[in-house]
């Protein structure tokens, strides 16, 4: 979905961030990273002081956030989860994140995104 959004916006995929839900030692976390990158599960687990990390099943992610997969936003989730933001996003002047439904993107400075989400910022991605 993130790459489709980048094409639709005519924006570099590094600036269009996707929101994923994962589990670190069984506890939900929100992950925000560039649409052309993948999450390093090892780095994600380490960031939250855990031993293991895995993607949350889509149905569980929808229940936890109140959003449909493809439209999950890091903002306004039903139950707030700790958030990880990939450090690479901070090198961009502006980024786009999902606003809560497919096709709705919010443009903002990555530093503002990190502050608004009270995100833990670290290198948590690998090339797709």
Supply 84's token pair.
């990880």
Considering its fold, how many domains does the chain have in total?
A: 1
Task: Quote the pLDDT of residue 2.
Answer: 67
Within 8 A by CB and 6+ apart from 12, the residues are 6
What average pLDDT does the segment 68-89 reach? Answer: 95
**Span 83-128, pLDDT tens digits:** 999 999 999 999 999 999 888 899 999 999 999 999 999 999 999 8
**Residue in 15, 19, 14, 125 with CA at minimum distance from that of residue 80:** 19
Helix (H, G, I), strand (E, B) or coil at 17: strand
pLDDT at 66 over 80: yes
**Residue in 9, 8, 14 with CA at minimum distance from that of residue 86:** 14
CATH number of the domain within which 29 lies: 3.90.960.10
Domain that holds residue 88: 2-127
């Amino acid at each position: 979905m993130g790459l489709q959004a980048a094409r639709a916006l005519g924006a570099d995929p590094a600036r269009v961030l996707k929101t994923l839900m994962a589990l670190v030692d069984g506890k939900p976390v929100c992950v925000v990273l560039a649409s052309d990158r993948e999450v390093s599960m090892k780095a994600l687990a380490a960031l939250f002081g855990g031993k293991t990390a895995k993607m949350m099943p889509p149905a569980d992610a929808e229940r936890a956030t109140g959003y449909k997969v493809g439209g999950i936003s890091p903002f306004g989730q039903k139950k707030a989860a700790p958030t990880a933001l990939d450090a690479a996003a901070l090198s961009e002047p502006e980024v786009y994140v999902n606003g809560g439904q497919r096709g709705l993107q919010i443009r903002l400075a990555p530093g503002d995104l990190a502050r608004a989400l009270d995100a833990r910022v670290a290198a948590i991605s690998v090339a797709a």
